Amino acid sequence: MNRDRHYMQMALELAAKARGRTSPNPMVGAVIVKDGRVVGRGFHARAGSAHAEVVALAEAGEQARGATVYVTLEPCCHHGRTGPCTEALLKAGVQRVVAAMTDPNPLVAGKGLAVLQKAGVEVACGLLAEEARRLNEVFIKYITTGRPFVVMKAATSLDGKIATATGESKWITNTAARAYGHRLRDMYDAILVGVNTVLTDDPSLTARLPEGRGKDPIRVILDSNARTPTATKILTQLSAAHTIIATTEQAPVERRASLLAAGAEVLVVPGEGPRVDLVRLMEMLAEKEITSVLIEGGGQVNGAALAAGIVDKIVWFLAPKIIGGDRAPGPVRGQGILSLQDAVKLFDVSVERLDEDILITGYTAERGSNPFLPV
């Protein structure tokens, strides 16, 4: 059993190499072992590329016959962008398959393991399942609910301010925290801010990692009245990612047209209120195979996202600084709550140091409703 855990941990580490690169697919790693020796390794590098099992089988060659395959997710048994992994495993003649978890995709959901078992392959499932579910929390949320996994990022002073009374916010957090923030942008499909952030800061919203390794997220701007300037960086800079302006029917047609001409995708979100309906927006983004969204908004956007119940995870940077002042803005605005029992509660909270800054990470209570996600 300890040996099984060792090889499954190896498979999980392989899968994580593709973090932020496999959307809308899950991250998957596979390790093939024969006679106590690893003969094949593989991971799914990106959507459309060979699956982890196929990569590992190619490395193992004939040594795969009679071997054990450790895989972080149940092998698929349907035709998608690539063929079924179950067929490849059976053709290779493997003796045993150990999966960390079943695939939450309704097209699979236990069927892959059943196919293997029916063909005489020894099957086991559930080893390091919680670690596997945590690894693929984005995919699980997306495939089981039809909405993206949403992370709200906030950075505040010790007294809960995101800027001074004059609006100065650069930089509340330190260099290590800001570098971590860029790694988050690299991990998730899209980054969401409000139009006021664009008007005030003219941000790039790109992932700036060492040696230019960052993958820019798709930029989503909440802009009910299409006020985004066409000369702003999010529309004029060189980037592989595009910009979506999420607006409403009340936005003037000529402004929508000018944004389209400037290269933006204009998404008119149905809804009765004067602001963009965030729940409907999430559904529309998921229809575009955007599986994850990082919110880097101000207090108004954060408050609206929490009120709409779309936030799955919170990443909060706390700098050991005190700003003070009644007019200095906080990270969550809006109506707020009247009773503490209605507060947004976090679970599975972790705390770590980033030099002198503190990083607090936690999950919202709604997350526990999904049986595939750890609670």
- The answer to whether 182 is annotated as binding is no
- The answer to whether 30 is annotated as binding is no
The residue behind tokens 């349907």 is 78
- The answer to whether 197 is annotated as binding is yes
> Which one from 53, 74, 87, 249 is the annotated catalytic residue?
53
Cβ neighbourhood burial of 133 (10 Å; 0-12, 13-18, 19+): buried
CA angle, corner 186, sides to 59 and 232, nearest 5?
145
175-195 b/e (C-beta count within 10 Å ≥ 16 → b): eebbebbeebbbbbbbbbbbb
- The answer to whether 301 is annotated as binding is yes
Rounded Cα distance between 153 and 95, Å, is 45
Tokens read off for 74: 């149940």
Instruction: Tell me, yes or no, if 122 is annotated catalytic.
Output: no
Handedness of CA 158, 162, 164, 170 (dihedral sign): positive
The residue behind tokens 């016959």 is 65
Q: Note the Cα 304 to chain centre separation in Å.
A: 20
Task: Output phi, psi for 124, to 5 deg.
Answer: -140, 145
- The answer to whether 171 is annotated as binding is yes
Q: Does residue 235 sit in helix, strand or coil?
A: helix
- The answer to whether 201 is annotated as binding is yes
- The answer to whether 298 is annotated as binding is yes
Task: Output phi, psi for 169, to 5 deg.
Answer: -135, -5
- The answer to whether 362 is annotated as binding is no
- The answer to whether 35 is annotated as binding is no
- The answer to whether 228 is annotated as binding is no
Rounded Cα distance between 47 and 107, Å, is 17
The residue behind tokens 């399942």 is 129
- The answer to whether 316 is annotated as binding is no
- The answer to whether 185 is annotated as binding is yes
- The answer to whether 92 is annotated as binding is no
Active site residue ranges: 53
Q: What residues form the annotated binding site for Zn(2+)?
A: 51, 76, 85
Q: What residues form the annotated binding site for substrate?
A: 185, 205, 208, 296
Q: What residues form the annotated binding site?
A: 51, 76, 85, 155, 169, 171, 185, 197, 201, 205, 208, 224, 296, 298-304
Q: What residues form the annotated binding site for NADP(+)?
A: 155, 169, 171, 197, 201, 224, 298-304
